[in-house]
Amino acid sequence: MNVVISDTAKTKLNGYRDDADHFLRISVVPGGCSGMTYNAAIDSNMMGQDEVIFEDGDIKIVADMRSSLFLDGLHIDFSNDLIQSGFRISNPNASESCACGSSFAT
């Protein structure tokens, strides 16, 4: 699994974690105008179908097996734009995305 996370996003993620057992969970769920969207949350409970898709030092990203099918090559960054700051996810597997960039199709 090839997931890239920028240093800026790593620093921001570390600020959200309360302790070393917490990780970022990313799942792909139906929704949005293009068909699929990302759900991301800080979590500490691994489930039976989970797999670690990225690990570097204190940063760990986990996804369920179904979601991980869509996440190979994922790039996560963080932007401090005045109008729309936040995490930016780009996915080379997406064949299209909506205008606002919050959903995608493969």
Q: Where are the domains of the chain?
A: 4-105
Domain 4-105: CATH superfamily, name plus number? HesB-like domain (2.60.300.12)
Q: Is the CB of residue 69 less than 8 Å from the CB of residue 55?
A: no
Global pTM value: 0.81
For the segment 24-38, what is each residue's pLDDT rounded down to a tens digit?
999 988 877 667 888
Please tell me the predicted confidence (pLDDT) of residue 106: 65
For tokens 């199709």, the residue is 105
Mean pLDDT of the chain: 84
Question: Predicted confidence band at 96 (pLDDT cuts at 50, 70, 90)?
Answer: low
For the segment 60-73, what is each residue's pLDDT rounded down to a tens digit?
999 999 999 889 89
Side-chain-side CA neighbours of residue 64 (13 Å): 13
